[in-house]
Structure 1
Amino acid sequence: MDYSNATTVELPVGPRPTPPPAHRGGPWRELSGALAVGMSVLAVVVVVFQVLAFFQGMPGPGPLTVFGHIAAAVLAVFVQRFADRRTGWQAALSVLGVVAVSAAALWLFWWS
């Protein structure tokens, strides 16, 4: 085979893949994420118990407890999303916010 008249064609090079971002989390951010998920699961459980109690003609947890759990879950997830997108003191304050919201909800609706 005669390759003397062959030409070389340069293939276009696309953008280089970006490396994954450095792990900015840590045990505290993971703990607050678990608390936010736990508050969401707890809110769903309380809603299910209220619906079951309604259909069985029983009082159930009550509207204040149901809406309080929903509000705490929404607030915890919102603050956790903020913590996941920030670094430094803003992230630390957000993690403390998730812990505070979770602790307040558990104290008000379960232990007091």
Structure 2
Amino acid sequence: MDYSNAVTAELPVAPRPGPASRHRGGPWRELSGALAVGMSVLAVVVVVFQVLAFARDMPGPGALTVLGHIAAAVLAVFVQRYADRHAGWMAVLSVLGVVAVSGAALWLFWWA
């Protein structure tokens, strides 16, 4: 057999894992993540209730309430993403921001 026209191909090498992340979540970051997810679920529930109320020709939560829940959920998720990607005081402030946004939304739309 003549192997003079043979072509060799180099097999791909899997990338080596980088160093372990020095950012640790901790219970406060996990709590704020749960709050962000909870605000997202609550926004979906409020939207569903508004759609059901509209379909049955009944008054629902209203446009202000629906838009407020959506805005609070989006803001909480973006602030949580920032907290997950940073460390130090900025992460602490971001966690507090998620708590503040969630608390404000619950206060304004549910208890006030």
Q: Same fold (TM over 0.5)?
A: yes
The CA deviation at 1:24 is: 1.2
1:5-57 C-alpha deviation (Å, 9 max, x unpaired): xxxxxxxx876433442451100000000000000000000000000000000
Structure 1 pair 64/14, CA: closer, same or farther in 2 (3 Å)? Answer: closer
Q: Which residue identity does 2:81 align to in structure 1? A: R
Matches within 5 A, 1:20-39: 20-22=20-22, 24-39=24-39
Match of 2:96 in 1: 96
Unmatched 5+ stretches in structure 2: 1-12
Q: How large is the Cα RMSD of the aligned pairs?
A: 1.6
What percentage of residue pairs aligned between the two structures are identical? 83
Match of 2:53 in 1: 53
CA distance in 2, matches of 1:76, 1:15: 34
Larger radius of gyration: 1
CA distance in 1, matches of 2:22, 2:70: 33
Match of 1:17 in 2: 17
Contact 2:23 2:87 in 1 (8 A): no
CA distance in 2, matches of 1:18, 1:42: 37
Structure 1 pair 49/14, CA: closer, same or farther in 2 (3 Å)? Answer: closer
Task: Give the structure-1-normalised TM-score.
Answer: 0.84
Match of 2:108 in 1: 108
Unmatched 5+ stretches in structure 1: 1-12
Give the 3-state SS of the residue equivalent to 1:103 in structure 2.
helix
Matches within 5 A, 1:63-74: 63-74=63-74
CA distance in 2, matches of 1:42, 1:62: 15
